[in-house]
Structure 1
Amino acid sequence: ITAPGLEHTLRTVHAALRREFGLPAPRIAVLGLNPHAGEDGHLGREELDLIIPLLQRLRADGMDLVGPLPADTAFLPAKLAGFDTVLAMYHDQGLPVLKYSGFEQAVNLTLGLPYPRVAVDHGTALDLAGRGIADPSSLQAATALCAQLARQRTLSA
């Protein structure tokens, strides 16, 4: 993890929430990298040395960022209330929660591109291919979101 990489990601997410989803002031929860968000340096210093200073600087630029939050409790419904999105620091920190809460309904969305890019929330499911038993729900959700994003871009152009 680097400060420039994290800053680029946060600015990309912030801009996409404004542009693609029409949120004038998105509120973003930012997870810590280490367990328990580093426990004040006892479980890692990335939060103290990198994440917190960067979040403070971006807050001064007007971004509404909360964190770094411990990933083990950040996804509790009461904690999620009031956030527009959660930025996880790596794949297996956020994706298991998404798949548990919305498998077959979730959509993989790539932000920061000049066009909408969506995908299903699961892998290739080669074990199901050609057997007529795959659930198309995630594909339908991805298609609907892509159409919504394309309409939003047309309206804001």
Structure 2
Amino acid sequence: MTSNTNNKTDPSEKFPQLYEVFLYKKKDIIAIQEKLDINSNTLKQIEHEPDEKTLADSYELLLKLVVNLIPIQVKLDIDINPVLEAELRRDKASSDKPIRLFDLLLCLEDDIATIQEELGIVSYTNQEMAEEADKNARVYLRKFEEFHGPLEDDL
């Protein structure tokens, strides 16, 4: 009996959520570039985004992000992640395994977080979550005041 199991993932397989995560990382890197007055229009250029984001599209965006991250790390004298640096030198056109791409995403997130901490920048994702939590808290407070009346300071 033979098995026809293939361990490779088709690079054209759709992974839209993964691509969206890389777009958030793109916004983080652009904010860092602006803070450091690094004039790089590479990420700011409006490019045609693929309608159906594949694994290959996510990998291509990852490489663009790494290329833009390295000059920032050099400017801040922060070590370049050897895993990401090696990935840039690979000959493959794309990663064929989602798990590999997730591993590279974690490396990228770690590098971005290190830079943000160094510069005192709140990440785009964290800022968005904080704004959403603030909005939700205001809605709950408004509902509470509607039901119980306005809050007063007893001090």
Greater helix proportion: 2
Normalized against structure 2, the TM-score is what? Answer: 0.28
The higher radius of gyration belongs to 2
Higher strand proportion (structure 1 or 2):
1
